[in-house]
Structure 1
Amino acid sequence: MEMAGSTDTKISRLNDIDLDATLRFGSCEMTLEEVLALGPGAVIELDRHVNEPVDLVVGDRIVARGEVVVASGNFALRVTEVAAPQLRLETIRCFF
Structure 2
Amino acid sequence: MEQVAAASGSAGLESKMDLLCDIDLDATLRFGAREMALHEVLELGPGTVLELDRHVSEPVDLVVGDRIVARGEVVVVSGNFALRVTEVATPQLRLETIRCFF
Please, what TM-score do these two structures have when normalized by structure 1? 0.93
Q: 1:94 Cα deviation (Å)? A: 3.4
Q: Which runs of 5+ in 1 are unaligned?
A: none
Aligned to 2:50: 44
> Contact (CA 8 Å) 2:71, 2:88: kept in 1 or not?
yes
Aligned to 1:89: 95
Task: Report the count of equivalent residues.
Answer: 95
Q: Which runs of 5+ in 2 are unaligned?
A: none
Q: 1:66 Cα deviation (Å)? A: 0.2
Q: 1:30 aligns with which of 32, 36, 39?
A: 36
Identity, in percent, stands at 74
Please, what TM-score do these two structures have when normalized by structure 2? 0.87
Deviating 4+ runs (over 2 angstroms): none
Kindly name which structure, 1 or 2, has the bigger radius of gyration based on alpha carbons: 2
